[in-house]
Amino acid sequence: MNILVTGGAGFIGSHIVDRLVATGHTVAIVDNLVTGRRDLAHPQAALHVVDIRDPQLDAVFAAVGPEVVVHAAAQVSVSHSVSDPLGDASVNVLGTISLLEQCRRAGVRRVVYISTGGAAYGDTDVIPTPETHPARAVSPYGISKVTAERYIDLWRELWGGEGVVLRLANVYGPRQNAEGEAGVVAIFTERALRGQPCIVNGDGEQTRDFVFVTDVADAVVRAIDSPDGHGTFNISTGRETSVNEIVRGLRGAMAAEFTVQYGPARPGEQRRSALDPREAARRLGWKALVPLADGLRQTVDYTAGRTPSL
């Protein structure tokens, strides 16, 4: 089918496009290339360099005629959302509304929305955290993503479309930008390979749920193909991994030591985070398959300029 992927030249979006093309779909990309990169866009996918808030998006929908839209474009920096909450909401809320209006006019059947897990739930009472837990976002970014989720629900309720929300855990893997997207795996990998010290905030025992990017792409394919056209799903491993474990895993992947320095803890940082993936397993038939050690090795190989062992 014809599928449009917003943010398809970015870290997560480009992996989604790769998987969709390999699955046999006709794919078009919308990306303003602010954080996306032209070289990450799949050569068999038509790239439209346009912002999701731009009226020119109407012409893209007319040319592509998408049956399904995967919405991965977003402002993803928590720190930027704090310093510029209006800009964050403009992209993540108003941009989503603009996109949904195009979907309504074009008769798009299903929207798969790439949302956030940890930033949506905030500090939780239950770990791993299920989708039924209240969303307690404590950053403008988290609030804007949860708000966009509600607009997806309203689009489905008002206009009869199908809306699937995927709340991602901490995604890592090849192509992640160590500067803009600030994933700890990407930052530590790049710094270690450059011979620079890796800075751990606090004691390093804070935990996150690390899911490999190709597993996320597989979840999107399953969300598109599923006969169940609605719902919110955690895309995660369900396992807590500490920052110190990431350091040990990267040392193993590099077969080398690197310098680690411990600094002050970040005020307000979550101590523990993991998401319960059982609903995605039950309704989408999805499960994270890439072990952490394999994912770290692939990330190191890519960042070092070698061919990843897939």
Q: Nearest 5 degrees, angle CA 117-CA 121-CA 124?
A: 125
Structure tokens at 22: 């390999």
Contact 176, 184 (CB under 8 A): no
Tokens 């996320």 identify what position?
216
Instruction: Please state the length of the chain.
Output: 310
Tokens 């949302």 identify what position?
115
Pairing relation of β-strands 241-242 and 207-208?
antiparallel
Sign, CA dihedral 142-202-238-8, equals positive
Q: How far is CA 114 from CA 8, 25, 182, 236, 294, in A?
A: 12, 19, 18, 13, 24
Backbone angles phi, psi at 204, to 5 degrees: 80, 0
Structure tokens at 153: 């629900």
Residues with a known catalytic role: 141
Q: Which amino acid appears at position 203 of this protein?
A: D
Q: How far is CA 76 from CA 10, 24, 89, 92, 119, in A?
A: 11, 29, 11, 9, 10
Q: Which residues pair with 164 in a beta bridge?
A: 112, 231
CA dist 7 and 22 (Å) reads 18
End-to-end Cα, the chain, rounded Å = 27
Q: Which amino acid appears at position 194 of this protein?
A: R
